[in-house]
């Protein structure tokens, strides 16, 4: 069965101030706008998602909530997993492998470099490091999300070009 994985890097953040924990970095006003545009792009391309997973870091959780609002996804259904905070590719895979079979389209909001490496490995394409609020969609032929460890998919869509015109 075909499943689609939407991999999104969190939107643009403020530079940390002295002694500020990385976990607490907030979005810039521009980052809020990026997330709104990205949410609209996802809705236009994919209509809805069955699940939304996000890092609990402030920049990722805020991005996830903004995306959810654009997708008419219940904010209370966002799954915040501490293992997604600055996660490596293997940690991201582990979290995705726990998804129930009935989930066919999932949006994952996380951090570089793990999110970019996962996109590269699953699509078998070279993708430059994802800029803030960039999404890569990968179609996967999976019976179960646990099969994610042993399969690759095809790059279905991305908003890289669209996003870059707003980041220039």
In a domain, 106, yes or no: yes
Asked whether residue 167 is assigned to any structural domain, the reply reads no
Instruction: Encode pLDDT of 29-83 as tens digits.
Output: 999 999 999 999 999 999 999 999 999 999 999 999 999 999 999 999 999 999 9
Strand 154-158 relative to strand 79-80, pairing: unpaired
User: What band does 16 get if pLDDT is binned at 50, 70 and 90?
Assistant: confident
In a domain, 161, yes or no: no
* 35 contacts 8 by C-beta, under 8 angstroms: no
Confidence band for 106, pLDDT divided at 50, 70 and 90: very high
Q: What is the pTM assigned to this prediction? A: 0.94
Predicted confidence (pLDDT) at residue 24 exceeds the cutoff of 70: yes
- Three-class SS of residue 22? helix
pLDDT, averaged across the chain: 93
Q: Is the pLDDT of residue 167 over 70?
A: no
The answer to whether position 96 is within a domain reads yes
Q: Is residue 104 part of a domain?
A: yes
Q: Give the CB-side neighbour count of residue 88, counting CA atoms within 13 A.
A: 1
The string of DSSP codes covering 103-118 is --EEEEEE-TTHHHHH
Q: What is d(CA 161, CA 37) in angstroms, rounded to the nearest whole number?
A: 13
Task: Classify the phi-psi angles of 73: left when phi > 0, otherwise alpha if psi is within -120 to 50, otherwise beta.
Answer: beta
Confidence of residue 25 (pLDDT cuts 50, 70, 90): very high
Q: What's the total number of domains in the chain?
A: 1
CATH code, domain carrying 115? 3.40.50.1240
In a domain, 158, yes or no: no
Residue 157 lies in a domain: no
What integer is the mean pLDDT of 98-119? Answer: 97
Q: Which domain holds residue 121?
A: 2-12+23-148
Residue 133 belongs to some domain of the structure: yes
Which single residue is written with the structure tokens 């490091």?
129
The answer for residues whose C-beta is within 8 angstroms of residue 150's C-beta and 6 or more apart is none
pLDDT at residue 160 above 90?
no
Cα distance between residue 144 and residue 153, in whole Å: 14
103's tokens: 């989930």
Percent of the chain past pLDDT 90, that is, above it, reads: 82
Any idea which residue has 């069965």 for tokens?
A: 1
CB–CB of 67/38 below 8 Å? yes
């Amino acid at each position: 069965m075909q499943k689609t994985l939407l991999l999104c890097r969190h939107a643009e953040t403020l530079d940390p101030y002295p002694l500020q924990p990385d976990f607490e970095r907030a979005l810039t006003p521009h980052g809020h706008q990026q997330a709104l545009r990205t949410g609209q792009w996802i809705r236009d391309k994919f209509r809805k998602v069955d699940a939304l997973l996000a890092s609990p870091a402030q920049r990722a959780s805020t991005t996830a909530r903004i995306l959810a609002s654009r997708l008419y996804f219940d904010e209370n259904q966002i799954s915040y997993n501490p293992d997604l905070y600055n996660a490596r590719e293997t940690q991201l895979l582990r979290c995705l492998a726990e998804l129930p079979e009935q989930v066919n389209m999932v949006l994952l909001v996380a951090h570089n470099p793990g999110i970019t490496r996962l996109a590269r490995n699953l699509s078998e394409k070279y993708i430059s490091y994802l800029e803030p609020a960039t999404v890569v969609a990968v179609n996967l032929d999976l019976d179960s999300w646990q099969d994610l460890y042993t399969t690759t998919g095809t790059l279905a869509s991305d908003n890289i070009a669209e996003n870059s015109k707003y980041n220039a």
